[in-house]
Structure 1
Amino acid sequence: MIIQAYNFLASWQLFPEKGEYQSGNRPKSGYYRINASDDKSRLNIEHTWVTLENDAFNATFSIIPDGELHDFENAVLADQFKASIADTSNLEISFYKNDRETLHVLHQITPNGLLKITQTGTAPAGEQFTNIEIYHKQMSVLPYAAAVSGAVIRPTEEGMIRHKALTAMEEQTNMQMDQIRRQIELLALQAREIVSRKELSMLIYNARLNFSPVIGQVYYLYEKKTGDHQVSMISPREWGNGSGPFKTFVAKVKLLADHTWVEVE
Structure 2
Amino acid sequence: MKSKIPDNVVYSAEEGFNANILPYATNVGAPVIRVDDVVSWKSRGIDNVNKELGNKFNELRIQYQKLMEEYEWNELVYSAKFSFEPVIGEIYHLYRDANGVNFLSLIGPQEWNREHIGTFKLNSDKKWILLKAQNSAIY
Q: TM-score, normalised by structure 2?
A: 0.57
CA separation of 1:227/1:186 partners in 2, compared to 1, >3 Å: closer, same or farther?
same
| Residue number in structure 1 paired with 2:120 | 253
Aligned to 2:109: 236
Query: Are 2:126 and 1:262 equivalent residues in the alignment?
Result: no
Q: CA deviation digits over 1:161-191, x for unaligned, max 9?
A: 51xx444433333222222222222222222
Seq. identity, %: 22
Change beyond 3 A, Cα 1:185–1:256: farther
Deviation at 1:158, TM superposition (A): 4.6
2:78 match: 205
Mapped partners of 2:119, 2:34: distance in 1: 66
Give, in whole Å, the separation in 2 of the partners of 1:174 and 1:216. 48
Number of aligned pairs? 100
Structure with bigger strand share is 1
Stretches of structure 2 lacking an aligned partner (at least 5 in a row) = 1-32, 133-139
CA distance in 2, matches of 1:195, 1:249: 22
SS in 2 for 1:258: coil
CA positional deviation for 1:207 = 1.2
Cα distance, 1:253 vs. partner? 1.8
* Match for residue 99 of structure 2 among 217, 220, 226: 226
Q: Which amino acid aligns with 1:215?
A: I
Shift of 1:200: 1.8
Q: What one-letter code is carried by the residue in structure 1 that aligns with 2:130?
A: E
In structure 2, the CA distance between the partners of 1:216 and 1:172, relative to structure 1 (3 Å rule), is farther
Preserved contact between residue 254 and residue 262 of structure 1 (Cα < 8 Å): yes
Q: Within 2, Cα distance between the matches of 1:216 and 1:178?
A: 42
Q: Residue in 1 aligned with 2:58?
A: 185
| Higher Rg | 2
RMSD, aligned CA = 2.6
* Deviation beyond 6 Å, 4+ runs, structure 1: none
2:8 is aligned to none
